[in-house]
Amino acid sequence: MEEVDVDPTVTNIPGIRHGKHMGFAWGPGDILVYETQFKPSGSLLPDAGGAFIHKVRKDEDIYSPILRKLFNESHHIFVGLQTIKEDVPSKSKRHQFVSISRNYRSVIRACMEELQQVAVSTRDTEMATQYGNQVSILLAIELIWNLCEVLFIEAAPAGTLLLHLLDWVRLHRADVEEKAKDVLQSDSPAEHHNYWDVVVSYVLQGRLEEARQMLGKQASLQPASRDIYKLMDGLLSKMPFFNPAGTQTLTEFDVKWKNWHEEVDRCLSDNSFASNGHLELICKILVGDEDTLLEQKELLGTWYHFLVTRLLYCHPTVKPIELHYYAQSCLTMFLDSRSVQEPLDSILLAAFEFDIYLVIKDCSIVLNNWWFVAHLTDLLDHCKLLHSHNLNFGSNMREFLLREYASGLFTHHSLWQCAVDYFDHCPELGRACLELQIERVPLDTERKALKVLRICEERQMSEQVRSICKIMAMRALRNNRLGSALSWSIRAKDAAFATLISERFLQDYCAKGTFSDLDLIDNLGPAMLLSDRLTFLGKYREFHKLYGEKRYKEAAKLLLSLMTAKIAPRSFWMTLLTDSLPLLEQNEVIFSADQTYDLMYCLEELTSSLDPAAPGADRPMQEEDVEQTKVELLRLSLARNLSKAIVKEGTVDT
């Protein structure tokens, strides 16, 4: 898109002293701003920086509980839209797109109504103003969306187009309903001070049946004027409206409408309503008199209401291609020289000119977040209306806006989960952006970490999976939650970290004499093969289980294999040899002669490395005495067991 051709809005930060040098740090959705100690030449301010760091949020709306419903509900609609298949017939697809567009608008309207209720009920003036501003923004959003739905998605032809525009105006000029309610609930509706305003408003909106019913109340009070009221009722009842479902062609309707228009014009020329100024005013509106219509600015309210009323009574068969001419002329006529054209006026005018890209660009500049432009652009892209518009920096307009919107959601503590689906449906750069954003999600709890992990695993984002698991494993280790740390390191397939945690488990066992997190260690399964130390931990726990089940021979065989196969770390051999003592002292011979010789070899190999005379031996005397006592006990038990094994086996190799 082109460069932004408007000045950016200025954000005033309370507490910042004028003339001070500012430092800042960019975040995914926020900016941190602070005063620095830099002193420009000639400055008289002191060198000290400010005491505060200010957080400037780009998008405040995502923190509103009510607007959060808008983001959540529209996310479901967005995901449903992506499932529409390409091979569906175009006519059926158009109905689906219109239905989806209306779903989006219903969500906007529901949030708007809830905001209005909260604004009325709140006692906080500042909050009431904030809610009121949000309602105004949502009103404008729905107005623009509804018009885009009529012009671009439904693409209504001549005849039908005006009917849709009438519905559009009626929906967004609902103040007449409140006035009509007050009038009808009064004791004498025909004498109410707003009676004629309601009648004229109905006529301006093309709601002629309601206008006739209201005029009937006035006619019953004025028997002398019954004839002219009857004449007006006849004109209103005869006005033709195009029926797209009927058999009448547009040409036939045009002829019929012109005949009716000529009849209204004759009544005006004949001064048929000269005796009643209100009815004459209505007759001038029916004939499409521009000066009369412009006199009703207060009731019309907006130039686009004036446009639709003018088309209704002057050009009911207007073609889409002609709309921009009438829109521009109505805007010029309605706004006087002192009026300033609002951004909303420019956006609606761009829509009437069928300039989709200008609508999207202006909305991107004016609105304070990307929700509207992202979802509207996505819908228009599915309608094949933006297919050829690519940007200069690597993606099309749809994907760029969806990525910007999703990036904003990622700054929220819960909406980030919705953002994942938006990135998923950006085929060019969505995955790369998701990988960058998912790493910034704060892993506050294990439950949240598991959610993030599941998202990464579903998308085969192996680097992010390893990173998350390492972070959680390290956090668990710092909190001395060894079981959780081991579980995370296994998920990360991090052999080095699994080895470190296994060492901690073994140290813990040496200190306490029992294992913590037995369920995890008992169910390691193939995961124990991740590292040698983890394999040893799993096998050593298996030895304890066998011993506890009194399967002594299997336990003895496993214990010996841990040392002879060099699976057990040398530092743990003394513990393993000590664990063999109860088996050596059993009445039944558990270790065979060969196994006993292997144990003796392991003991001698260990004691040679523990020789006090060896270089670097620098241990307390008490610890040496304990170790020496263990060695002597082991040698005695091994000698006894060897003699029993030799006797039992009956022979000995010489």
Query: Splitting the chain (654 residues) into consecutive groups of 10 residues, what average pLDDT does each group show?
Result: 54 70 68 73 56 68 79 94 78 88 95 90 86 90 95 91 93 85 87 90 93 87 83 92 87 93 92 89 93 92 94 94 93 80 92 93 88 94 76 73 91 88 92 92 90 93 91 89 84 83 79 71 73 81 85 88 84 84 85 87 80 51 71 86 83 51
- Do 205 and 285 belong to one domain? yes
Whether 328 maps to a domain, the answer reads: no
Q: 527, 546, 565: which is the final residue of a domain? A: 546
Half-sphere exposure of 72 (CA within 13 A, CB side): 12
The answer to whether residue 107 sits within a structural domain is: no
In 3-state terms, what secondary structure has residue 52? coil
Q: Are residues 287 and 176 in the same domain?
A: yes
- Domain check: are 186 and 293 in the same one? yes
Q: Is 88 inside any structural domain?
A: no
Contact 369, 59 (CB under 8 A): yes
CA-to-CA separations, 77 to 133, 357, 414, in angstroms, rounded: 25, 23, 18
Q: In terms of domains, do 592 and 632 share one?
A: yes
The pLDDT score that the predictor gives to residue 42 is 55
Verify that 554 and 541 share a domain, yes or no: no
Q: What is the pLDDT of residue 329?
A: 93
Q: Which of 446, 389, 15, 352 minimizes the C-alpha distance to 161?
A: 352
pTM for this entry: 0.79
Q: Please say which residue of 250, 283, 302 terminates a domain.
A: 302
Same domain? For 191 and 248 the reply is yes
Whether the CA torsion 200, 203, 204, 205 is positive or negative: it is positive
Q: Is residue 519 part of a domain?
A: yes
Cα 450 to chain centroid distance, Å, stands at: 19
Residue 138 lies in a domain: no
Q: How far is CA 226 from CA 48, 218, 219, 233, 275, in A?
A: 86, 9, 6, 10, 12
Residues 557 and 541 in one domain: no
Residue 609 within any structural domain of the chain:
yes
232 vs 238: CA distance, rounded Å: 10
Query: Same structural domain for residues 583 and 512?
Result: no
How distant, in Å, are the alpha carbons of 32, 57, 436 from that of 27?
Answer: 8, 10, 13
Place of tokens 């579903």: 458
**One domain, residues 557 and 492:** no
Q: What is the pLDDT of residue 1?
A: 40
In a shared domain, residues 525 and 503: yes
Collapsing DSSP to helix, strand or coil, 390 comes out as strand
> How many domains does the chain fold into?
4
Identify whether residues 609 and 529 lie together within a single domain: no
Q: Which of 480, 513, 546 is the last residue of a domain?
A: 546
One domain for residues 188 and 292:
yes
**Is residue 41 one of the residues assigned to a domain?**
yes
Residue 417: the pLDDT is 92
Supply the range of the domain harboring residue 215: 169-302
Domain assignment present for 576: yes
pLDDT at position 617 is: 47
